[in-house]
Amino acid sequence: MSDETVKLKGADIDIDLPLLGGSMGPKVIDVRKLYKETGYFTYDPGYTSTASCESAITYIDGDEGILLYRGYPIEQLAAQSNFMEVCYLLLFGGLPNQAEYDQFVSDITYHTMVHEQLMQFYNGFRRDAHPMAIMVGVVGALAAFYHDSTDISDPHQRRVASYRLIAKMPTLAAMAYKYSNGQPFIYPRNDLNYAANFLQMAFAVPCEEYQTRETLARAMDLVFTLHADHEQNASTSTVRLAGSSGANPFACIAAGIACLWGPAHGGANEACLKMLAEIGTADRIPLYVEKAKDKSDPFRLMGFGHRVYKNFDPRAKVLRTAAHDVLDELGINEPLFEVAMELERIALEDDYFIEKRLYPNVDFYSGVILKALGFPTEMFTVLFALARTAGWISQWNEMISDPVQKIGRPRQLFTGPTQREYVAINKRS
Ligand code: SDX
């Protein structure tokens, strides 16, 4: 932290505010004393220029298209690491040695089962319920089963809750999928790695031996790694805000799932594949590009644009290559992938997208891979939430341990009616 200051000087204000610097990225103007000393608030709907916290977990350079998890480039982690190691990295800040890794994987593996009674929650939903609606419900309900890991003041309970959430999300997600198609729930298997175990819970049936396919498990693991964390995005900020009140971690993650569901955020992967299907063929792309540019039309190119990235989302680059490899290895001719690549080419040559610096984001190609893995579009955001639980719970732990942490309570610019007297109904016009 530096001892630099910036001066804020105006009609009736003259204040020096501390300028704080981190290890990378923009410095911040510390406005914590602004209201107390000047009576003024700052105003930043959407938080386009606001740092909500200090964090050491994930760094994004939107202009350069850089994404680092605890300093490691996402491209290197995607190529050389795996989701379990990334979970450890996000939670504890460094790469594990072999013994630490083996212990962590074992700990997670032995938390993958869920309380048998949780299965009854699913029966309360319609079979056609959106799986994200189910996930919001059942993840929040975990607090009703795991009381021994809801005391957030106890570091041991925080760790147990963190492991339980990372371990049980695949089980709950697979159950949501099985419930939607009427197949029986499949229990986790301790002899499979995290991604392979999830795929077997989603696609195995009791009538025959499930054959794990390493290619598919590796692709699933890669998708999880790429979605694991992303700085202070909307759903992570939701988890932090919920956690700032002292809410238990299961409730906080359920809040994050609810926020992620929105089509402007994690729901974009489902919306993007539906958009590609609606476009259908490359000759119809110009029509949709024009719709996306038309201010009178609410349509946006799903999977395009980003609050932070004004260059290529590095995850989209990795996912485009992975989508090609998965389709190639599975021998699938997916016309939507061709449409996606052609849409990317046309949009990136269009002045509107160039001027507004709109590029494909993480949601643009992920749906092609998830469809190739056998998931229906409604499951796509569930898979995003499954992976992002690692980031959410890491950010939650960081927030709880932050010495300056206090309940989040934004203020407002009030533009409503000034004070007025109540009028009895028989005296109103
Ligand atoms: C995720 O924050 C994160 O890190 C999120 C995420 C993560 O890992 O957690 O990266 C995951 O949510 C990725 C984004 C997924 N969403 C989509 O793909 C939905 C489509 N994208 C847009 O809705 C939009 O780009 C956002 C929501 C992603 C970003 O919105 P911003 O930063 O608020 O930008 P904006 O809406 O102010 O857009 C700036 C301009 C606007 O035009 P003008 O008002 O300046 O004339 O660009 C236009 C927008 O109309 N624009 C688009 C567009 N995205 C922005 N125009 C057409 N198609 C688009 N996709």
| pLDDT one-digit tens code per residue, 103-118 | 999 999 999 999 999 9
pLDDT in tens, 81-140: 999 999 999 999 999 999 999 999 999 999 999 999 999 999 999 999 999 999 999 999
Closest atom of ligand 1 relative to the 231 alpha carbon: 4
**pLDDT for the residue numbered 11:** 84
Nearest CA to ligand 1 atom 12: 265
Residue with tokens 């996306």: 292
Burial of 423 (0-12, 13-18, 19+ CB in 10 A): exposed
Q: Residue range 398-412: average pLDDT? A: 95
Alpha-carbon distance of 221 to 193, in angstroms, equals 9
**Ligand 1 binding pocket mutation candidate from 239, 361, 362 (most atoms within 8 A of CB):** 361
**How far is the C-alpha of 70 from the C-alpha of 91, rounded, in Å?**
10
Nearest CA owner, ligand 1 atom 7: 230
Are the beta carbons of 425 and 264 closer than 8 angstroms?
no
What's the rounded Cα separation, in Å, for the pair 229 and 87?
A: 9
Residue nearest to atom 2 of ligand 1 (CA): 233
Q: Rounded to the nearest 5 degrees, what angle is found at the Cα of 222, between the Cα atoms of 383 and 371?
A: 50
Give the catalytic positions in this structure: 306, 363
The tokens for 285 are: 């792309």
* Strand 66-69 relative to strand 58-61, pairing: antiparallel
Q: Which residues line the pocket of ligand 1, CB cutoff 6 A?
A: 230, 233, 264-266, 268, 292, 300-308, 356, 358, 361-363
- The pLDDT of residue 308 is 93
Calculated CA dihedral for residues 269, 69, 111, 171, nearest 10 degrees? 10
Q: Sort residue 229 into left (φ over 0), alpha (ψ -120 to 50) or beta.
A: beta
Ligand 1 atom closest to Cα of residue 364: 18
User: What are 24-64's pLDDT values in tens digits?
Assistant: 999 999 999 999 999 999 999 999 999 999 999 999 999 99
Q: Which of 307, 312, 381 to mutate to test the pocket of ligand 1 (most atoms within 8 A of CB)?
A: 307
Query: Whole-angstrom Cα distance, residue 86 to residue 92?
Result: 10
Q: Which two tokens stand for residue 223?
A: 């998708």
Nearest CA to ligand 1 atom 3: 233
Atom of ligand 1 nearest to the CA of 227: 8
Contact 319, 356 (CB under 8 A): no
Asked whether residue 261 carries a pLDDT value surpassing 70, the answer given is: yes
C-alpha 265 to ligand 1 mean position (Å)? 9
CA of 307 to the centre of ligand 1 (A): 6
Query: Chain-wide mean pLDDT for the chain?
Result: 96
Closest residue CA from atom 26 of ligand 1: 306
Question: Is residue 2's pLDDT more than 80?
Answer: no
pTM passes above 0.75: yes
